[in-house]
Amino acid sequence: MEGHQLKKERVMEDNQDHISLLPNSILSTIWSLLKIREAVGFSVLSTRWRYLWTTSLTNLTFDADNMLDKNDYSESETSTYHIGELHRLIISWKRKLSFINSVNQFLLYLGDDLKIDKLKVYFTFRCNKYGSHLDDWIDFAFSRKVEEIDLCLFEDTFFHVPDDGELYDFPCHLLDDYGGERGLRSFMKCLRLAYCKLAPGRSNFLGFSTLTSLDLNQVDLVSEKHIYTLLSNCAQLEWLSFCQCYNMDHLKINHPLCNQLKYLSVKDCHELEAIEFNGSNLEILEYKGFMIDFLFSNVQRLKTVFSHAFISRATNSVVCPLSTFRADLPQLETLILSCSSCSVEVLFTTFPTFSRLKHLSILDIPKCKHNLFRIATVLEATPTLQILELHLRAYEYVEEPKEITRTPSSSCLHDHLKKVVITGTHGCLSEIELAIYLLNSSQSLAKMVIDPRPRLYHGNGKWDILEACATWNTVGRLNIYEHLAREVCSPVELLIL
């Protein structure tokens, strides 16, 4: 009987709500990490938790998952082809109203003293009568000292309806009070915009005075004048990215404009004709798109560049920009290059000498033997190179040679090369020939890494690692090991993943 009582007490102890015993400060921290739907849903489980979310949620994400019932307006029910255009418009209208009402109701419950760290909106909005609600949410976030705003105003996961109005115009006028005469202070450090318009109208616009990061994706910048107004009011900006933006033909960053800027990325802005730097403190430049004019002056800190072989608008032919970089950026230390089947020959045969380059990454190299051995000419043009990364193309059929051909090496060419990384390998003989050449041509080589997993570069130092080919574990690794193990000298570490 006594044992039964102890067992019963133990069961009751195990069923006790330990979470509710935690202090409010810890509970608030836990709730701040939850999604809106999760935080509101948990509130019904305990009387003590009922209003905890109203004083704890500092990261607000307004999207369909959080603000709409999953059973309403589901994509599977509304994206079928038999639904007419009028029906689609009605569903889209009802869905938008439901979303707006849910967000407005949610904001009414938030505590008066709650500081908002981040506001994210992922929903389709246009510059019509519904856009004013988005203005109100942004104004609300600024009044709560928001530090990060992320707006993506087009949902590619939901069915498409005809455009309803122009792009949403980010309300710069609402931010005039922050840093202006009324003495309100802006706390915003990061702004991400996608599928909208950004065109500050006032030359003394102060709403972005604290901004350190600006990320623009498919944004209408209206004109060069508006771009200058925008950048001239971002004195603290350190990180800037333009992706598929339009109404931008010239980008000029001249001292003292954006004097703190360290990173710039410009990708697929097809109207762009020139980028000009003068007296900038820029450290990293990444560019992808058509061939444009680069004008560099007094950019001694710019030591890292990502680029690729461009397509000329005039001739529709491949053009290599490296000569411009070599002449204007003699201090360049890190270079990331992207290849393609049509550009690899131009890229390698016209590779100029970089006397200070220390780190070279070449992406998406086609795997034919002819292309792989062109790497040797690149190394001749980079006598101070210390790290070489070769990211081979993974999806291409390779015609194998019948036996390994040894290319004569020159020991004086690669006195500084210490590390070689080759990714996307299959174990074919052309890859082995290249590895043997690099082993025998590098007096200071300390480490060689052979990795079968291909790499994709997304910019800003971010990479995707893909899966190795299916035959790597059964054939490829052993084939490479058998050949390279005989070539490696004792000081060199060979790592085959």
- DSSP class of residue 467? P
- On the question of pLDDT at 173 being above 90, the answer is no
Give the domain CATH number at 435: 3.80.10
**Poorest-confidence range of 5-14, 59-68, 154-163, 417-426?**
5-14
Distance spanning both ends of the chain, measured CA to CA: 62
Q: Rounded to the nearest 5 degrees, what angle is found at the Cα of 142, between the Cα atoms of 49 and 282?
A: 120
- Token pair of 394, please? 């993974």
User: Is residue 44 exposed (0-12), middle (13-18) or buried (19+ Cβ within 10 Å)?
Assistant: exposed
- Token pair of 487, please? 């070539």
Collapsing DSSP to helix, strand or coil, 365 comes out as strand
Task: Round to whole Å and give the CA distance between 393 and 170.
Answer: 41
At residue 379, φ and ψ (nearest 5 deg) are: -65, -35
Q: Is 427 inside any structural domain?
A: yes
Q: Is 450 inside any structural domain?
A: yes
**Which H/E stretch holds residue 162?**
none
Task: Round to whole Å and give the CA distance between 390 and 483.
Answer: 19
CB atoms within 10 A of CB 428: 20
Q: Is 65 inside any structural domain?
A: no
- Of residues 462 and 71, more confidence is placed in 462
State pLDDT tens for residues 131-168: 899 999 999 999 899 999 999 998 876 555 555 568 99
Tell me the residue type at 132: S
Q: Is 82 inside any structural domain?
A: no
Question: What predicted TM-score, i.e. pTM, was given to this entire model?
Answer: 0.85
- Token pair of 419, please? 């590390």
Q: Is 207 inside any structural domain?
A: no
Give the position of tokens 């609300």: 140
State pLDDT tens for residues 342-387: 667 777 777 888 989 999 999 888 766 555 667 778 888 899 999 9
Range of the domain at 478: 354-497
Q: Number of folded domains in the chain?
A: 1
Q: Is 219 inside any structural domain?
A: no
